[in-house]
Amino acid sequence: MPLFARLYNFACWLTHDRAAAEDLVQETFMKALKGFSSFRQGTNFRAWIYRILRNAFLTSQAGLHAPVSLDAEDDAPLEPSTAETPETLLLARLESESIQAALHELPVNFREIVLLCDLEEMSYQEISLAIGIPMGTVMSRLSRARKAMRTMLAAKLQGAPR
């Protein structure tokens, strides 16, 4: 199944729940198969299927600003390199957890842009097609999302015990 792992990863980030992510990806593929006749050859398949996933997610949400829980058990463990010490691994994990927490605090419309750009490595044009917004809006939302994350991370660092 094309892009299954990437779609599942994106769905996990959106839903914050593995079971819900599985359901969302399954629904995405069902809708894609059902509506495959609407796909135009020569257009961007990846953007098309991400748009289906995003629309299915938005449809399933009663309120986009509902609080979500952070489940630490779902975090993938960091893989150490041979040059790393336990101390550097701990610091890297803390940094990763801080970034993930900041990402979780972003509103969905900012979080999805960051995920598609930085995790899925989609171009601005692909994101524009997948989400259905102008490319300029993609760039401005990405800029605002990154600024918000920097602010959250800086505030967390200032409040951290030294």
Q: Which long-range contacts (CB under 8 A, 24 or more apart) does 100-106 make?
A: 100/70, 100/75, 101/70, 101/156, 102/148, 102/149, 102/152, 102/153, 102/156, 103/13, 103/149, 104/16, 104/68, 104/70, 105/152, 106/145, 106/148, 106/149
Write the pLDDT tens digit of every residue in 36-61. 888 888 888 888 889 899 888 888 87
For residues 155 and 159, give the distance between their C-alpha atoms in angstroms, rounded to a whole number: 6
> Which one-letter DSSP state was computed for residue 16?
S
Residues of the chain with CATH 1.10.1740.10: 1-61
Across 9-27, average pLDDT: 90
Q: Residues for the chain: how many in total?
A: 162
Going from the C-alpha of 106 to that of each of 1, 126, 142, 148, the distances in angstroms are: 30, 21, 11, 8
pLDDT over 90 percentage in the chain: 31
The tokens describing 64, both together, are 């986009």
The tokens describing 119, both together, are 């995790």
Residues of the chain with CATH 1.10.10.10: 85-162
Write the pLDDT tens digit of every residue in 84-131. 566 666 666 677 788 888 888 999 999 999 999 988 889 999 999 999
Q: Is the pTM of this model over 0.75?
A: no
Task: Give the pLDDT confidence score for residue 65 in this predicted structure.
Answer: 40
pLDDT confidence bin for 68, thresholds 50/70/90:
very low
CATH code of 85-162, in short, is: 1.10.10.10
The CATH number fitting domain 1-61, selected from 1.10.8.60, 1.10.3720.10, 1.10.1740.10, 3.40.50.300: 1.10.1740.10
